[in-house]
Amino acid sequence: MKLRDTKRILISTVAALLGMGSLVVCSVTLAAESDAYSIARGGRLYDKWFEESPTAKTPEIAHPGYPESGKYKGNKGTDWRCKECHGWDYRGNEGAYAEGKHYTGFKGIGGMTGADPTSVVAVLKNQTHAMTASGLSEQDYHDLAMFVSQGQTRSDGFIDDKSKKVTGDTSAGQGYFETVCARCHGLDGKEDDQIPPLGKLANDNPWEVLHKIINGQPDEEMPALIAFGNQVAVDILAYLQTLPQE
């Protein structure tokens, strides 16, 4: 076969492939994402919306609604994080942030559990929240509202408020941890030296770690286990409390 023929065959093959490619592209339309996806993404926005949202920027001014006396006023956007005013346990001034350096005195968001997402969006766009310059998209607001409405895991019953001890199945948790998390965090939870050992985090702030197991870490590869149900997350959390703390 002459070189020219080979070229012709090549060109027509490429053309056919390209044609097939565009056919495939045209015929696949993705359905809307699952509620689980939206809720977990909302959870990561609740954690740190200016990391998770591709359109939002880290606020450069202090949040006008954050107390003047608060420890995190104007601190690299911290005072704009939902969790900073409403807590990792979503209970605001009635939960873990009822005292200490994260105290703001603001109420939790439990009252809006089960609320219509559009009414939650209206609250997020009110004057108190001062989000007009945030850069959040309508999708971001929707996902945040889905989280507020359907994503708040109540911790009473498995995290003791005083001792912070978690009640869960540590041996099931070990199996989950070693097969899902250890790939990135190491079998001892200490692989990533940019963050404290997971054993320490889980004992210091079990609500934060639970939130991150269920929803993932803002703008990082870490998975969200929301679709496996709360018990899996609780068992992992209980196991994490047994890992080395330093």
Q: Amino acid letter at 213?
A: I
CB of 209 to ligand HEC, least distance (A): 4
Residue 63 phi/psi, 5° resolution? Answer: -70, 125
Q: Pick out residues in 199-228 that bind ligand HEC (CB under 6 A).
A: 201, 209, 212-213, 217, 220-223, 225
Stretch that binds ligand HEC, among 1-9, 10-18, 119-127, 156-164 (CB under 6 A): 119-127
Would you say 113 and 190 are in contact if contact means Cβ atoms under 8 Å apart?
Answer: no
CB of 195 to ligand HEC, least distance (A): 4
| Virtual torsion, Cα 121, 122, 125, 129, nearest 10 deg | -90
Which of 23/71 has CB closer to ligand HEC?
71
d(CA 206, CA 87): 12
CB of 160 to ligand HEC, least distance (A): 19
Alpha helix positions (H), 106-219: 117-124, 138-150, 170-176, 182-185, 198-204, 206-215
Q: Give residues in contact with ligand HEC (CB under 6 A).
A: 46, 49, 63, 65-66, 79-80, 82, 84-86, 106, 109, 111-112, 120, 123-124, 126, 128-129, 144, 148, 180-181, 183-185, 192, 194-195, 198, 201, 209, 212-213, 217, 220-223, 225, 236
